[in-house]
Chains A and B, each alone.
Chain A
């Protein structure tokens, strides 16, 4: 799937070892295409460690595409391509010797629609990542308890670990997916509108989980819900796209500033609900 041909490959530097407490992600001049149609242009953003960064903006601006570029899922779409740099703790994930599977292990993802593996039990779901990524860890029972606790699900399922993963409620399934993502020891957790398919109670629980997790894992969350962005995030980036033009970041910065005193009038319009 080698795409365009520009400069010959430089010697890629060795990737930095993972740090405890989350990693920093930095995007520089990111562009994205589906075939010849450009959907993102010149996006640059810092996502600091141990913080929650929210990506907000109207639908269709490329927020989810940007998220998928962060963990190298964008390239799975046939005909998709990208430009720019994504640095995980200083190492460009697209230009290092880091295997793509290893990148995806370190940068985990939780999807909009909860997708626990139906053929596995709750505990098997949590441990699935170990089998799938090849990460060797011992003491599986402790891992199951630890991850489910951090995801805020342990008390509800501790007596149902042998039940099928698909038999839980929507909110529980999503927390199970979070636990599953945590089991492979990621430094960053990407969340693509994790609560949009859930009821308010589950949403609240997951927001609590996000707050607790942010100390251990860097979190980047795409959300349509501005109040949610205000509640959970430390920093925000506001995406916008004019019709038939690629998306870009209008403004990014600390959440408080963006919501109370943004620099750009368009940001002010969006956060006060004048369009969206």
Chain B
């Protein structure tokens, strides 16, 4: 921190008005400087050394996990001790908490990384292009892992999720519009119910569709029944997220629209929904991401199939999560490998959807795309 002094010729205040000092060095208040880093590094190294020396001998622990746990604990202790000596007990406590909180926050990356690494590691090597084109009808547990494919499962998932979207997105968005734009006495019970619906365990959703539709209406298990169960799970997510997004639209816009002489419907259609369009898209993608990996309801509603069946309305269908589940439980090396391959594809799919949701949500309402701009220019309006 350098003292900032005016150069000699400027010191007479009557001569010139004050000027800004080009050489002003800004004070870095919260900088995590070399000294702090050194303190932490030193504590860590001494913890490492200490534990290394006494580990096998003094503690009843063994193995690498225990070693690192001891190092961490020792690190906390030494860091606390050093901070207490240097800056007092209160700051020492703060320092320890800081380390613990950082570990908690950043440490969650570890299981995530482990999951991705394991799935990719197990699933990647058996993946062949024909995984996507051949079905699993003529392949059994005695075949190689790379034989056959899961086209029936993939098509099934696509169609079932697609149907679920068709059912739950219009219903969910309309319910959200009802809750936020219209409200009234009915809104409170409906909102409570939507919250309750989001708590339904996935297996119970499957159970319900089984009794109500497959047993009750004497419908056969297959893609459509599974889609109904999935839409039960997707509906609350879409509704709640959409309602949140609609709530974010400033009330001033609705007022402005009404003041121009608009009806409620026109206000919703031309102002509220376009303003929240990206948010609604995000809500839909999140809903899809939630159900694309759901297995439990499929166990009860899909029936068994290994043949490519493009029609969700007749005959049982397969589905990617069910494929993974069944193959895994067959517990043969080849089937387990196939299950991992499927898991790899599923994980990639979910990650892509997740990224899409984040990207879609990133663009604000004021983004005017190229096509729209071109269309407006043609009318002389842009």
Contact = CB atoms under 8 A, between A and B. Distances in A.
A161 interface: yes
B366 A140 contact: no
* Max chain A C-beta neighbours (<10 A), residue from B252, B262, B379: B262
A109 B261 CA distance: 10
B270 to A, nearest CB: 6
B259 A109 contact: yes
Contacts of B133: none
A102 interface: yes
A33 interface: no
B367 A164 contact: yes
Given A118-B364, A131-B266, A132-B271, A140 B379 contact: yes
B258 A104 contact: yes
Given A101-B262, A119-B277, A166 B381 contact: no
B267 A132 contact: yes
A166 B260 contact: no
Interface in A65-108: 71, 73, 76, 101-106, 108
* Max chain A C-beta neighbours (<10 A), residue from B253, B275, B376: B376
Nearest to B374: A162
Interface in B259-304: 259-263, 266-267, 270-271, 274-275, 277
A194 interface: no
A214 interface: no
A223 interface: no
What size tier do the contact residues of chain A reach? 35 or more
Contacts of A161: 376, 381-382
Contacts of A115: 250, 252-253, 255-256
Contact of A181 (B260, B275, B365, B381): B260
B188 interface: no
A73 B255 contact: yes
What size tier do the contact residues of chain B reach? 20 to 34
A162 B368 CA distance: 8
A132 B266 contact: yes
Given A111-B256, A113-B252, A115-B250, A129 B261 contact: yes
B128 interface: no
Contact of B258 (A76, A123, A124, A181): A76
B95 interface: no
A132 B262 CA distance: 5
B257 interface: yes
Given A132-B257, A167-B366, A121 B262 contact: no
A157 B12 CA distance: 49
A148 to B, nearest CB: 11
Contacts of B372: 121
B260 A118 contact: no
A128 B262 CA distance: 10
Contact of B256 (A117, A124, A162): A117
B262 A133 contact: yes
**B contacts with A: majority SS:** helix
Interface string B342-382: 00000000000000000000001111100011001101111
A245 interface: no
Contacts of A103: 261
Contacts of B377: 162
Contact of B260 (A119, A120, A133, A144): A133
A162 B381 contact: yes
Nearest to A135: B261
B382 A121 contact: yes
A129 B382 CA distance: 18
Interface string B227-250: 000000000000000000000001
B258 A121 contact: no
Contacts of B256: 111, 115, 117, 177, 180
A115 B260 CA distance: 12
B381 A123 contact: yes
A31 interface: no
A166 B365 contact: yes
A34 to B, nearest CB: 17
Interface in A105-153: 105-106, 108-109, 111, 113, 115, 117-121, 123-124, 127-129, 131-135, 140-141, 144
Interface string A168-186: 0000000001001100100
B266 A163 contact: no
A247 interface: no
Contacts of B380: 140-141
Contacts of A164: 366-368
A131 B267 CA distance: 10
Contacts of A111: 252, 255-256, 259
B252 A108 contact: no
Nearest to A120: B274
A130 B255 CA distance: 16
A57 interface: no
A162 B274 CA distance: 16
Nearest to B250: A115
Contacts of B379: 140-141
Contacts of B252: 111, 113, 115
Contact of A73 (B259, B263, B365): B259
A95 B50 CA distance: 90
A-B complex: 9 closest residue pairs judged by Cβ atoms? A162-B382, A105-B261, A133-B261, A164-B366, A132-B262, A141-B380, A119-B274, A123-B381, A115-B252
Interface of B: 250, 252-253, 255-263, 266-267, 270-271, 274-275, 277, 364-368, 372-373, 376-377, 379-382
Given A101-B261, A129-B261, A133-B260, 10 more contacts: A101-B263, A103-B261, A115-B252, A117-B257, A132-B257, A141-B380, A161-B376, A164-B368, A180-B260, A184-B261
17 contacts: A73-B255, A104-B258, A111-B252, A115-B252, A117-B271, A117-B274, A119-B366, A121-B372, A124-B376, A128-B260, A128-B270, A131-B266, A131-B270, A132-B270, A162-B382, A163-B368, A164-B368
